[in-house]
Structure 1
């Protein structure tokens, strides 16, 4: 046994050495998006002038939401991200000298955001969306750097990641970068498109890094560019298709989407999970022009339409009388008190269901998650709020949940009634893992 353990240890050591050696060799071929002039530090006057603008750019980039854990110190990190390879914790980006970025130069900061390599040559995990931030302009990165350096230092130690071998070896990210990091830096404006469209592309692709959640991942967890913005599963929840086709299917047009990104509420439902945090910390503070630009780009428009024109509701799909009777009884008993007998919802209590985007998605994942596990009370911009929705995992068996999903998705989402009890059982099992 001891000999076997020794041999396994030697094999593991050899694998680590091979990975490290290969990464060092391949690192020579990795190109940086950071120009040499960034090594020149900014003056104090330049930093002061940039900081005010940097507050807005940092908000668009949604840095606070990821680098502040619930109940934790601002900018001090500690927020967990569950990945297929283990848990990664966000880091302290306050200007603390020991634990944060207080000792980072301008060049250190640029290389972390654009190359994924922090001070001292430490590779960052792509849970930090440097593949998207790589497209930011140097001027915007300078602004973020200047703003963060005006925050209060937070002497909070960074949490250790919990990753399986060999993903706990940071140098292996050299391979990841070579395969998945865009070779180019900031994307040039398209002269054939409007300023509005180009601004929207820059916000969506770089600052707001929408593709990081809404684009499917390959086996190496890089974004599948051929499936750009067509939806992906993140931490058990579906980040839906936000292409023009996907948004239209959910019931949005460009003006409605811009308003939804600002308020988090619409006839199509409410923002939940990570997207609630995006609205709470980022998009509610975006100016009207930038909200319009995002929506225009996602709908591939060069100008916003003067009047909203929401797509028509999908046609109901017929279900068996037995299913309709059983599921409607469940709905009336458990759901109608808040959502109404006809699914119209109650303001500041529950969202409408008759126009709800989650029922129009091809996958029932998000709807099943909500029925089983509920949603906490949420406060939205302004005075709007939604009451908590309880989960019904203990009230309904798998067959009843499947019946409810099939009836509601067919009636209000135009989806075929193809959810099975096994699908529900799988959702329960994954939630318990």
Structure 2
């Protein structure tokens, strides 16, 4: 077997994903420098409601709330190639949370990536995207976070390797990879398109997953939205710029919007990290904002070729043997839901024929789905989603490789054969 050059491993069928590391801020009672809060109780209530909506758009809860823990109390471990970071408490607790920052301090964290004391924040907190957020929206999020119940829990210190635990070294990183500035509307585009761009590039921080990173943890700007690695999660975030992956050039805007809002559409369903994004964030967004995001995503320039991934390749002869074996496994285990012809029963059971996410150069996501199963997110519009059972206990590495090979190479799909070694490597991968 031989290896191709690696591009990335990570997320799933379409768009963004949640922030990877913490927001290192706190809040405050007093206002400064003319950034006044709403003047009346009604105005304040409206501001808090707006801030709650925007915090949903930014998916703040995903990183700052441990499963089963108090909302926004932090403590979620974030494994990175540079060590483990722990998300901070951003409740309005005076001792450990955001009890002593002003609106100006909060905006500085969002806009410049600097803490209250001026220290540099680690770029796991997506200030490189949040810098695009307007001052008005930042103030609204601040008002909302100040309204939640305080939790008196200390934030756990990061456990980063030397020299990554030296914050001053971030100056060089920022010079290379950070450009400060609020989003500037494109006057040649519609109001809807600009709203979508603002949400995707700013609060949505979609590029953090769908753009590959280099050895320094910086985005490869020449490959924006061309697919990328969600560190250590073992999910591939497909390219949005190539129709050979999750490129949206031939999608109907409605199908994109359905996928974002409900997690399922006639073109496919989301699983893995993207399902969490839909569940925590996108399902709560207005139809107007979802349509704006879909409008913007559909206009991302498409490229003829997807990025080159790395994966083990089988010989042509062995690939043929896997294909034959996989046909029987598919008939026994998969055809009831996905049909003998691979057309499925959308949106409940997504089609596998002519499905870009199945035949991408990277086979990581279909392998993980066969091994671990999964569900699209439960949303108001799709409260009882149909799921995929796991087959890790019933199928061997070669059998999983065989059925994934069959799916990737049948019904006109143009994927390549899958190596049992790839399955073995992913069998022990973390589920989150």
- With normalisation by structure 2, the TM-score equals 0.79
8 Å CA contact retained: 2:361, 2:416: no
Q: 1:361 to 1:268 in 2, by over 3 A?
A: farther
Matches within 5 A, 1:102-141: 102-141=99-138
RMSD: 2.8
- Mean Cα displacement is larger for which, 387-396 or 141-150? 387-396
**Residues 430 and 247 (structure 1), Cα distance of their counterparts in 2 relative to 1, 3 Å cut:** closer
CA 1:148 to 1:201, structure 2 compared with 1: closer, same or farther past 3 Å? same
Against the structure 1 CA distance between its residues 253 and 413, is the aligned structure 2 distance closer, same or farther, given a 3 Å change threshold?
farther
> 2:39 aligned to 25, 39, 45, which one?
45
d(CA) in 1 for partners of 2:340, 2:159: 47
Equivalent of 1:146, from 130, 143, 147?
A: 143
Q: 1:239 aligns with which of 237, 240, 245?
A: 237
- Corresponding position: 1:215 with 2:215: no
Secondary structure of the equivalent of 2:70?
A: coil
- Equivalence map 1:331-370=2 (5 Å): 331-345=330-344, 350-354=349-353, 356-370=355-369
- Aligned residue number for residue 281 of structure 1: 280
SS in 1 for 2:147: coil
Q: State the distance in 2 between where 1:360 and 1:135 align.
A: 35
1:30-429 matches, within 5 Å, as: 39-43=33-37, 45=39, 48=44, 50-182=47-179, 184-234=180-230, 235-243=233-241, 245=243, 246-248=245-247, 252-300=251-299, 322-345=321-344, 350-354=349-353, 356-375=355-374, 378-412=377-411, 414-428=413-427
Q: Tell me the distance in 1 between the aligned counterparts of 2:52 and 2:77.
A: 24
Q: Distance in 2 between matches of 1:251 and 1:394?
A: 38
Q: Do the aligned residues in 1 keep the contact of 2:259 with 2:268 (CA within 8 Å)?
A: no
**Could you say if the C-alpha distance between residues 94 and 357 of structure 1 is closer, same or farther in structure 2, counting changes exceeding 3 Å?**
farther
Deviation, 1:380, is 3.0
Distance 1:164 1:267 in 2: 45
How far did 1:85 drift?
1.3
Shift of 1:372: 2.0
Offset from partner CA, 1:124-178 (integer Å, 9 cap, x none) = 2222111000111111111111111111112222123232222122332222222
The count of aligned residue pairs is 379
Q: Which one is further off, 386-395 or 171-180?
A: 386-395
Cα offset, 1:71, TM superposition: 0.6
Unaligned runs of 5+ in 2: 1-30, 301-315
In proportion to residue count, which structure has more helix?
A: 1
Alpha-carbon distance in structure 2 between the residues aligned to 1:89 and 1:413: 46
Q: Is the 8 A contact 1:247 1:253 kept in 2?
A: no
Rate the CA distance shift 1:377–1:166 in 2: closer, same or farther, 3 A: same
Deviations 1:379-423 (A, max 9, x none): 233344335534333433333222222210111572232322233
Maintained 8 Å contact 1:350/1:386:
no
**Match of 1:82, SS?**
strand
TM superposition score normalised by structure 1:
0.79
Moved more, 386-395 or 192-201: 386-395
For the residue of structure 2 that corresponds to 1:379, the secondary structure is coil
The CA deviation at 1:377 is 7.8
Instruction: Give ranges in structure 1 of 5+ residues lacking alignment.
Output: 1-36, 302-317
